Structure 1
């Protein structure tokens, strides 16, 4: 999605941590924090596009970056921090999350529509049931 095209990662910080001998977890944490910040503050048009599709942009960012981080090697993270726009792994994770969140959004919308339809139908059915009950009571009283 377009949000990742505007991620201004803290490349200098990642490279500096690597040069200072920081451990892998520190590099991963720095990358994740920078990527989340960049995505969440990214392209307003991309955020609007996600919202129109019923997807929370912050949830999308977290999903995509965490999915990427699950399989990314340290070398891949270092390379992707230099040029995140060329990262096929990051784009793939983003597309998977967008697809999943759209499906969830669609399912939630369908469930809400179904609930609204059943709520609208319930009052219409209630008088019919009440009339049937009155008729049965009248028949019992008349017998």
Structure 2
């Protein structure tokens, strides 16, 4: 299983960042070569969505479900847990938004993912971990920029 974490400090309140980063339909705006479809929106745990990543015939679906949902308060971190439930990618993700003084917060995204093929998964664990950290770092940078623009309005 490949594990990686990306994090970023954001000059926006935790509730603004939470609202943005848990808008699953928007993830395709920030993650390269990915489109998102929300299959069932419960507004929290039980929400199901699918990311389709890749190009043409080299694309795959990554269905996910939100398994826990605890939004932040001004004094406590918020956390959402997501399970990957596809025929190719399996695993768990966690997004956390930690309020900081001065209408700032820390956004952290952690993934523990593997491929259904254990042999292939073991062979590419390191590239997935390194690539995932870099890709999600870039994604969180985009989320932060949008949240900061919203907070400045």
Decide: shared fold, TM above 0.5: no
Bigger CA radius of gyration? 1
The structure whose residues are more often helix, as a share, is: 1
TM-score w.r.t. length of structure 1: 0.30
The structure whose residues are more often strand, as a share, is: 2
RCO (CA 8 Å, sep 6+): is it higher in 1 or 2?
2
TM-score w.r.t. length of structure 2: 0.28
